[in-house]
A and B are shown apart, each in its own frame.
Chain A
C-alpha cells in the first residue's frame, strides 16, 4: 500500500499557530499595501473601456505597437503580450476627445469606444493596407463570414458561391493563426477561381487580425463591483450558516475566518502579480469559498468525534490529533484539484489563465489554512469553546 505517512503522524500544528497567523498576516498586509498604492488591475468588465485582442502575422516588438498607437494619441493604452506568441491585448479607456476626433454630437460611450477600435485598426495597418481600406476594399483577415458573403453577393457573385467562399475563408482563418497571407492560400483552400479573381481587385489581407473586440460601458462596472462583493459576502455568510447549523457556531466562525483568509490571500497574490480582475477571477474566488471549506469540514467532523473520545486530553492535543488523522486526506483532496488546476493553467491558454492562477493560489492557501488555521482559531477561543462543549 502506497502511503505518504506510514502511520498517523504526530506533527504539532497548533503550537505553531502564531507563526502561521504572522505569515498570513504578512501576506495580507502586503496585499493591502499594494491595494492602497497601485490598486487592482481592473479588467474592462469592471472598469469599462475597450479591449482588443490582436494577432500579427510577423513577430512584432511591443514597441512598434506602442509607436503605432502613439501616432493616434493612444500611446498610454495598456498593451500586454500574450505568452510568447505574436498576440497582444490592447486595453484603453480612451474616448474620442483623446483621439482629437472630437465627437460631432453627443454619443453613447459604447459608440465612442467603437470609433476608438476602428481608429486602432486603422492605426495598426501598414501604409499599403491603409490605402486599400480607404478605397473601400474588404479586409479578408478582419471580416466576418456573413460580411464576406454579403460583400461578394453585392459584387455580383452568385449566392451559393459567395456563401461557400466565405465559409472557406473563415475556415482557413480558424485552422491557422487566424491570418491569411495572400490569395494563393485561398486557392489551396478550394475557393473558386472566378471568386478569387473578383477578390483580387476588391479585397486585401492586412497583416494582423482582431481576434476579439470588447466594449463595456462604464455604468456596468460599478454595478458589477458591488454585485461581486455582495456575492462573495453572501457566499461566506451562507457557509457560516451552514457550518453553524451542521456543527456549532464557533466552528462556523472559525471556518469563515479560514475562508476569508483564503480569499484575502488570493486577492493579495492577484495584486502582487497584477492579474487582471475580471468576472472569471470573481468566479474563481467564489469557487474557492465553496471548495476550500471542504477539508476544513473534514477536520471539524473528525474533531467532533475526537472530542467525545478523548475527553481526558487537553484541547490542543485533541486538535493536533484531529489534524494529523485527516492530514493525508486534506493533502490528497487538494492535490487532485490542484492537478486539474495546473493542467488548466499550463494548457488552457491565456483566456482562462487568470482564473487558473486564482484557483491555484486559492487551493494552496485553502489547504494551508485548513491545517494551520481552522483549528488554531478554536484554540484561540479555547475557553468559550470548551465551556460550550461541557454545557
Chain B
C-alpha cells in the first residue's frame, strides 16, 4: 500500500471511530423530538407592548413626584399609547425647570415642548432594550416555574425572528391545563387603595362617577373564586409593585383556612410601611393579574409580611405560591400554538419511521447491487458509512430527531447514492470510450466531481432557506438533510475512491472491473 493510501484509510477509520464514539450509547445521545416521545409543545408571544406600558406608567408616577417636589404646576401627566407620556397645562415660566428635570432624570426619553404641552417618548434603542429585557425575564420566570413544577428535560427557548416568542417543550405531559395556568399567570401582585365599591356591574361602578371615570381610577373585577362576584373602583397608583415581593408560602388565615403568605424585600417593606401608615382605616385591595383577590381595611401599619385570604383550595394555594415565588412575568403572555402528542402516537411513529428507513435502505441497496454489481458493494459501504457519520454529527450537535427528521434521513439515503450513480455512469462512459479501467475510474471521479458539487450545493441552498423558514420539526428535517448531503460528499467521493484503490490498486494488470 502506498503512503497516500495509508493515510486515507487511516482517516476513514478515524472518522468511523469518531462517529461511533459520538453516537455511543445511542439511547443517551440521540434526542427524540416531542412528536416521537410524546409531550406538550407551546409557543407563546410575550406582549412586550404591555411591558412597556407598565414601565411608562412607572415613569409617569416618578415624573409626577418630581414635578411636585419642584413645585411645578401642571394639569395632568398621562401615558399615551405604550411608550409616550404627555404633560399638559404647564406654565411657560417653569419650562427651564422642567427641562432640567427631564435632562437629569429622564435620559431614556426624548421630549418636545410645544407651549403648555410637553410630550416624552421612549428612545427607540431603549425601547428595544426594554422589550428584549422583558422577553428574557419572561424566559427566566417560565424556566423557574417549569423547574419547580418538576418536568424532566424541558426545552425553553426564544423563537421567531423578532425574538418575542417563547417555545416551551415539556416531554411526557399531555394534559396541559394546570401547567399552562402556571406558566401563564403573570403573577403581578399589586396593592391598590379602594376608591369605592363593591358594585354588581361595571355600569353601576361607572354610574357612581356619572359615566366619566377620572384618570387616576380604574374599575377592576373580583376573582369570583375568592370573593363575591363584582367590581371595585380602585386608585390606579399601586402601593408596592409586585417585583418587590421577596417570598411566598402556604399559610392560614385567622380561621385556619388555607391562605397565601407573602413578604417583601427591604425596599418593598419600607414602601409598604409608609403607605399603610398614611392610609390607616382605608380599604386596601390585593390585585393579582388584574383580578381582586381580597379587600381588607388597613388596621395597623404593615411592614414586611401579609397574607392573601379567600376561598382557596390547597392546590390553588400551592400554585399561587409557586407563581409568586418564581417572580412576576414582566408582561402578559399569549398562547399562539399548542400541540400535545400522546405517548402511543410517538411510539407508533418511531416504528413506522424505522420501517420506512429500513425499506428505503433495502430497496436502494438491492438496486445498487443488481445494477452495479461489485461497484455496488462499494457504494453500499459508502452509504452505510454515510448513515453512521450522519448520526454521529447529529449526536454531536445534540440535534433532535423528529418524524420529519427521519424523513430527512431516509431521503438522504436516496440522495447519497446519487453521487455514486453519477460517478459510476461516468466511469462506464469512459470505459465505453475505450479507456483502461484505471484511467476510467480516475476520469470518472474527476469529471463527476463538479457535477456532484453543484447538485449537492443547490440542495443545501434550499435546505438553508427551509431551515430559516421552518419551526422545530421542519428545522430538524433541514438539518438532517444538510448533514446527510455534506456527509455524502465525503463518502461518495472520498471513501468510495479509496475502496476502488484498495480493490484494484495493487493489481498490476487490470483489464476489467465490475461496474
Name which residue of chain A comes closest to B383, CB basis: A336
Which of A53, A231, A342 makes the CB contact (< 8 A) with B466? A231
Check: B461 CB closer than 8 A to any chain A CB: yes
Report if B474 contacts A (CB, 8 A). yes
B336 touches A242 (CB 8 A): no
Residues of A within 8 A of B364 (CB): 336, 339-340
- Tell whether, in the assembled complex, residue A349 and residue B349 are in contact, meaning their CB atoms are under 8 Å apart: yes
Which of B55-63, B267-275, B451-459, B498-506 touches A?
Answer: B451-459
Expressed in whole angstroms, the minimum distance between the Cβ of A323 and any Cβ of chain B is 14
Chain A residue numbers with a CB within 8 Å of B347 are 174-175
Residue of chain A at shortest CB distance from B420: A336
Closest chain-A Cβ to B223's Cβ sits at a distance in Å of: 12
Q: Taking the complex as formed, is B177 at the interface, i.e. its CB lies under 8 A from any CB of chain A? A: yes
Within 8 A of B (CB), among A103-158: 108, 110-111, 113-114, 142-147
Secondary structure at chain B's binding surface: helix, strand, loop or mixed?
Answer: helix
Q: Take A216-B337, A286-B466 as given contacts and tell me if A343 and B342 are in contact as well, using a CB distance cutoff of 8 Å.
A: no
Q: CA A294 – CA B455 in complex, angstroms?
A: 5
Q: Are A347 and B359 in contact (CB under 8 A)?
A: yes
Say whether A230 contacts B469, CB under 8 Å: yes
| Interchain CA distance A349-B410 in the complex, whole Å | 14
Q: Is the CB of B403 within 8 A of A352?
A: yes
Bound: A341/B462 CA distance, A = 18
Q: Are B465 and A343 in contact, with the CB atoms below 8 A?
A: no
Query: B209 an interface residue at 8 Å Cβ cutoff?
Result: no
Confirm or deny: A22 has a beta carbon within 8 angstroms of a beta carbon on chain B: no
Docked complex Cα distance between A356 and B341 (Å): 21
Partner of B360, one of A174, A339, A349: A339
From known contacts A231-B469, A340-B413, A348-B356, infer whether A242 and B342 are also in contact, taking CB-CB under 8 Å: no
CB-nearest residue of chain A to B40:
A144
Q: Do the beta carbons of B356 and A343 come within 8 Å of each other?
A: yes
Point out the residues of chain A lying under 8 angstroms from B407, CB to CB. Answer: 280, 344, 348, 352, 355-356
* Chain B 332-356 interface mask (CB, 8 Å, partner A; 1/0): 0011111111111111110011011
What's the least CB distance linking A89 to chain B, in Å?
12
Count chain A CB atoms within 10 A of each CB in B173, B459, B515 and give the residue with the most. B459
Contacts of A239 in B (CB 8 A): 458, 461-462
Q: Are B352 and A290 in contact (CB under 8 A)?
A: no
Chain B positions within 8 Å of A349 at CB level: 348-349, 352-353, 356
Which of B8-16, B321-329, B389-397, B421-429 is near enough to bind chain A? B421-429
> How distant is B353 from chain A, measured CB to nearest CB, in Å?
6
Residues of A within 8 A of B360 (CB): 339-340, 343-344
A1 within 8 A of B: yes
**Interface assignment of B174: CB less than 8 Å from any CB of chain A:** yes
Assess the A212–B341 pair: CB atoms within 8 A: yes
Contact B353 A340 (CB under 8 A): no
Q: Is A11 interfacial (CB-CB < 8 Å)?
A: no
A72 at the interface (CB under 8 A from B): no
Q: Is A170 in contact with B343, judged by CB distance below 8 angstroms?
A: yes
Q: Which residue of A lies closest to B465 (CB)?
A: A235
- Shortest Cβ distance from B512 into A: residue: A1
Q: A287 near B481 (CB under 8 angstroms)? A: yes
B172 touches A333 (CB 8 A): no
Q: Is B7 an interface residue (CB 8 A)?
A: no
Chain B residues near A216 (CB, 8 Å)? 336-338
| Cβ-defined contact, A238 with B175, below 8 A | no
A111/B343 contact (C-beta < 8 A), A287-B411, A298-B455 known: no
Instruction: Tell me the chain B residues, 150-183 only, with Cβ under 8 Å from chain A.
Output: 151, 172-175, 177
B282-339 at interface with A (beta carbon < 8 Å): 334-339
Q: Flag if B339 contacts A338 (CB, 8 Å).
A: no
| Interface residues in B89-128 (C-beta closer than 8 Å to A) | none
Chain A residues positioned under 8 Å from B469 (CB to CB): 227-228, 230-231, 282, 286
A386 within 8 A of B: no
Interface pair A242/B458, CB less than 8 Å apart: yes
Given A1-B428, A336-B364, A217–B345 Cβ distance below 8 Å?
A: no
Please determine whether B466 and A338 come into contact, CB atoms closer than 8 angstroms. Answer: no
5 pairs, CB–CB < 8 Å, chain A vs chain B: A110-B338, A217-B336, A242-B457, A344-B360, A352-B404
Query: Does B218 reach chain A (CB closer than 8 Å)?
Result: no
Which A residues are in CB contact (< 8 Å) with B368? 336
